[in-house]
Structure 1
Amino acid sequence: MDLAAPTTVAGTDPAIATAIEHLFGPAGRADPYTPGRVLREAGPLHDTPLGHKVITRYEDCTAVLSTTAWSHAEEAGMMHPTVSPDDAPEELPTSFLWMEPPDHTRLRNLVTKGFTPRMVTRLRPRILEVTEQLVDNALAAGEFDLIEMIAYPLPLTIAAELIGVPREAYDQVHRWSQDLARGFDHDYTLPREALGARSVAARGFMGYFRELLDERRHQPTDDLLSVLSQVEDRGDVLTEQELLATCITTFVAGHETTANLVGTGMLQLLRNPDQLELLRRRPELTEYAPDELLRLEPSVQVTTRAATKPITVAGHDFEPGEGVVVLINSANRDDAAYTDPDKVDVARYSDPMNPAKKHLGFSLGIHYCLGAPLALLEMEVLLDVLLRRVKQLEVLTETPSYKPNVVIRGLESLPVRFTAA
């Protein structure tokens, strides 16, 4: 850690203290689930050195995420204390992610127009086209980095085309997106260079989308940028800062987390060839497998909420304004909620008569991920194409490298080998 931050809580059991240190530090990137299990089995709620209690179990995490009695609007103050409230709109452009009604409803409804079920279904042919081309390139290479050649290009291309980012800007916006995703971690756990990169990325995005939106006002096209620019022109209550932050949020959330789902999801399948074989025998399961892969490896590992009124969760009485850290990665592997929770079961969500509990990888309630249908569709199409066109999929390392991110976790690289069918 580069900044002054406490690392232990006085009186904490050493095993719990170690688990918390691993969960929020670099040691836990390859495996945040073992420390999560230690905490979950030790109790439903624990103190952390960052000043907020952490909740570990599915039932309690669900109770917090599913109600407006807990607000997400305080995340900036809880996770990013180095950013002043005056600077937050420019430094942390998250739009409706960290809002509550009525502002959350107003802004989210604008973006929803680009993510209706019909709109997402219309994207399937384009997703298939992009995926086929990426798999062509991968098969031609034979051995390659799956993160570089498939996991990022697929959702990046779809998100950019949906929103209206031209191809010549892909590399730049991709770098900005990664720096913003890194910056979602607690400020006291980030090195100074990561804080600086987050600031540069946020301001770079704001300036870039300001230029694009100005273009769309004069020459609208068939993309989300044009829709949002016209909304402002119609006189709806939408400031320029809100409009820009909404563009940034939609773009980053639209591809960064999906890239992580593709990377970690494919690693799970490569490490469990019996599940790949099951998908080959029952290809209809590709519709359900993405939810299981995200349950096991949620792209968003933790989130925060703050009580809006006196409320009791996990046996603790919270006062208004008191915050909690919700351990999504722990809740999704709670054996009180799931049978064999650490096991990959691509059929887990396939039985409508005996459905598995909803995982928390997309959150719950009013903050349920707007892009969930698109992310699941992209992963489904990728699985369909791989099962049809690739005879053998092999991971080339036992220890793939992970990004240092805690909140938005994913692989940095994944060397693999594909053999054409």
Structure 2
Amino acid sequence: MNEHVQTLTTEPLFNPLSPDFIKNPYPAYERLRDTDPMHVTAFGAFLASRHAEASLVLRDKRFGKDFVERSKRRYGPDIMQEPIFRSMSHWMLQQDPPDHTRLRGLVVKAFTARRVEDMRPRIQQVVDQTIDAIFDHRHMDLIEDFAFRLPVTIICDMLGIPEEHREMFYKGSRDGGRILDPVPMTKDEIAQANMGNAMAKMYFEQLFELRRKNPGEDLTTQLVQAEEDGSKLSNEELTANIILLFGAGHETTVNLIGNGLLALHRNPDQLAILKADPSLMPNAIEEFLRYDSSVQLTGRVALEDIEDLGGKRIPKGESVLCLLGSANRDPAVYPDHPESLDVRRPNVRPLSFGGGIHHCLGAQLARIEAEIAIATLLRRIPDLRLDDADNPQWRPTFVLRGLKELPASW
């Protein structure tokens, strides 16, 4: 009886869409790590909040994505008739080998370290143009006017999206993150996601036509040619994965730049260190990734019975959600004040880009974009101040953690 009363009177350990949690999930993570490191949520998934279990699940072959079965278990047998779910089932992010291996193999060349390194001058040019355009206003929203434009421009470059089509992407809405959250979507939310998916599909089908007629040096041309080969890529896979690359290619980087700038301005001592020694920037980016990850969670499904993971038995078919944001602050891995920002912190290896076969394809690109964006901003607008560093507006999603806006003046 006592236990029952207690569960009724206390907050659930994991309530990821509550405003307090979205504002600051880290105290809840600490409670999870200390009291129930393999917590079972209200909707039946296991939550890995410590670094040891989370990093193991990401790399262990006994876990996979199993997207279709997982979605049916959650929403019922007809869920794959919803266009958004059908589209997501073709994302390489949601695939297991051999399909995952085949799809990733088609795009991996575009993201090699060498290719990305070669993009530095272009990234620098876009950042400088963005600052030039706004400099005399003495005020901007660091998300919409700054952080957003760079990764959208670069992914448009990579996908061969013509200049004259880009305005709609700059003005585009940023409310797509909800489909990734671990709390089931309502009918209305699914309908809205279907609508967004239909619009994206319509645009990219026009782009495919354009690139069939006028091939370029871009990723879309490469994938259209693979689709014509037939054995490599179906039309549905082509469309779904271009939508994935476009979304993944900017969403998380916008958040990395925004969350990093907020963290710096909330920690003026760290901001001063970085301004005094710009060579610390690559390490600072790793620390921003660790300190406030733009992706807070990624999941896997047990492909067989797992007898013991953090003291719990995981039956085949059950989901394990890896709390990347929590693992990144685990004192077992970061014994020296894991809750504080330290741009000089040694051995930072955040789990923010996931791990194993699904390790983020664009990790190196995101790092370089954030590095150039933040370094250039500090150098060119050294007296920039946030209008309100204490109460910024967070987006109401949990998996993709980022700000709605971040007004600043100089």
Residues 196 and 62 of structure 1: is their aligned pair in 2 closer, same or farther, counting only changes over 3 Å? same
Residue in 2 that maps onto 1:81: 75
Say whether the 8 Å CA contact 1:94–1:248 is kept in structure 2: no
Residue in 1 that maps onto 2:44: 51
Q: Map of 1:30-41 to 2, 5 A cutoff? A: 30-41=23-34
In structure 1, what is the Cα distance between the partners aligned to 2:178 and 2:293? 16
Range 282-291 or range 373-382, more displaced: 282-291
Q: Spell out, residue by residue over 1:125-161, the C-alpha distance to the aligned partner (whole angstroms, 9 max, x if none).
A: 1100010111223422212211111111111111111
Percent identity over the alignment is 36
Q: Spell out, residue by residue over 1:42-97, the C-alpha distance to the aligned partner (whole angstroms, 9 max, x if none).
A: 12111211121212111111111112211123386189627712435545365100
Say whether the 8 Å CA contact 1:257–1:408 is kept in structure 2: yes
Could you say what secondary structure the match of 1:303 adopts? strand
Q: Shift of the alpha carbon at 1:185?
A: 1.9
Range 107-116 or range 380-389, more displaced: 380-389
Say whether the 8 Å CA contact 1:396–1:417 is kept in structure 2: yes
* Mapped pair 1:96 → 2:92: yes
Q: Map of 1:53-72 to 2, 5 A cutoff? A: 53-72=46-65
AA at the equivalent of 1:260: N
Say whether the 8 Å CA contact 1:148–1:413 is kept in structure 2: yes
Residues 11 and 91 of structure 1: is their aligned pair in 2 closer, same or farther, counting only changes over 3 Å? farther
AA at the equivalent of 1:242: E
Q: Shift of the alpha carbon at 1:330?
A: 1.1
Q: Map of 1:207-246 to 2, 5 A cutoff? A: 207-246=202-241
**Contiguous gaps of at least 5 residues in structure 2:** none
Say whether the 8 Å CA contact 2:37–2:310 is kept in structure 1: yes
Residues 11 and 195 of structure 1: is their aligned pair in 2 closer, same or farther, counting only changes over 3 Å? farther
Q: Shift of the alpha carbon at 1:269?
A: 0.6
User: Among residues 302, 309, 314, which one is paired with 2:304 in the alignment?
Assistant: 309
In structure 2, what is the Cα distance between the partners aligned to 1:331 and 1:238? 36
In structure 2, what is the Cα distance between the partners aligned to 1:47 and 1:303? 16
Residue in 1 that maps onto 2:127: 131
Q: Shift of the alpha carbon at 1:18?
A: 3.3
Q: Spell out, residue by residue over 1:78-117, the C-alpha distance to the aligned partner (whole angstroms, 9 max, x if none).
A: 8962771243554536510001111101001111121111
AA at the equivalent of 2:374: L
Q: Shift of the alpha carbon at 1:404?
A: 0.4
Say whether the 8 Å CA contact 2:67–2:89 is kept in structure 1: no
Residue in 1 that maps onto 2:342: 345
Residues 187 and 340 of structure 1: is their aligned pair in 2 closer, same or farther, counting only changes over 3 Å? closer
AA at the equivalent of 2:24: D
CA RMSD of aligned residues (A): 2.3
AA at the equivalent of 1:381: I
Could you say what secondary structure the match of 2:409 adopts? strand
Q: Shift of the alpha carbon at 1:251?
A: 0.7
In structure 1, what is the Cα distance between the partners aligned to 2:181 and 2:193? 11
Say whether the 8 Å CA contact 1:176–1:202 is kept in structure 2: no
Residue in 2 that maps onto 1:108: 104
Could you say what secondary structure the match of 1:29 adopts? helix
Q: Shift of the alpha carbon at 1:200?
A: 0.7
In structure 1, what is the Cα distance between the partners aligned to 2:356 and 2:235? 27
AA at the equivalent of 1:316: K
Q: Shift of the alpha carbon at 1:267?
A: 0.2
Q: Shift of the alpha carbon at 1:177?
A: 6.5
Could you say what secondary structure the match of 1:344 adopts? coil
**Contiguous gaps of at least 5 residues in structure 1:** 1-8, 350-354
Residue in 1 that maps onto 2:194: 199
User: Among residues 118, 123, 130, which one is paired with 1:122 in the alignment?
Assistant: 118
Q: Shift of the alpha carbon at 1:234?
A: 3.3
Residue in 1 that maps onto 2:137: 141
In structure 2, what is the Cα distance between the partners aligned to 1:307 and 1:206? 32
Q: Shift of the alpha carbon at 1:321?
A: 0.8
Could you say what secondary structure the match of 1:387 adopts? helix
User: Among residues 268, 282, 289, which one is paired with 1:287 in the alignment?
Assistant: 282
Q: Spell out, residue by residue over 1:157-185, the C-alpha distance to the aligned partner (whole angstroms, 9 max, x if none).
A: 11111112233433544676733323222
User: Among residues 274, 293, 297, which one is paired with 2:269 in the alignment?
Assistant: 274
User: Among residues 355, 363, 369, which one is paired with 1:364 in the alignment?
Assistant: 355
Could you say what secondary structure the match of 1:144 adopts? strand
Q: Shift of the alpha carbon at 1:371?
A: 0.4
Q: Map of 1:166-205 to 2, 5 A cutoff? A: 166-173=162-169, 178-186=174-182, 188=184, 190=185, 192-205=187-200
Could you say what secondary structure the match of 2:384 adopts? strand
Could you say what secondary structure the match of 2:353 adopts? coil
How many pairs align? 402
Q: Shift of the alpha carbon at 1:230?
A: 1.4
Residues 47 and 386 of structure 1: is their aligned pair in 2 closer, same or farther, counting only changes over 3 Å? same
In structure 1, what is the Cα distance between the partners aligned to 2:243 and 2:133? 29
Could you say what secondary structure the match of 1:160 adopts? helix
Q: Shift of the alpha carbon at 1:387?
A: 2.8
Residues 120 and 180 of structure 1: is their aligned pair in 2 closer, same or farther, counting only changes over 3 Å? same
In structure 2, what is the Cα distance between the partners aligned to 1:206 and 1:101? 25
In structure 1, what is the Cα distance between the partners aligned to 2:17 and 2:174? 19
Residue in 2 that maps onto 1:4: none
User: Among residues 382, 394, 401, which one is paired with 1:409 in the alignment?
Assistant: 401
* Mapped pair 1:388 → 2:379: yes
Question: Could you tell me the TM-score, scaled by structure 1's length?
Answer: 0.89
Range 317-326 or range 160-169, more displaced: 160-169
Range 137-146 or range 269-278, more displaced: 137-146
In structure 2, what is the Cα distance between the partners aligned to 1:304 and 1:171? 34
Residues 139 and 16 of structure 1: is their aligned pair in 2 closer, same or farther, counting only changes over 3 Å? farther
Q: Shift of the alpha carbon at 1:296?
A: 1.1
In structure 1, what is the Cα distance between the partners aligned to 2:125 and 2:282? 18
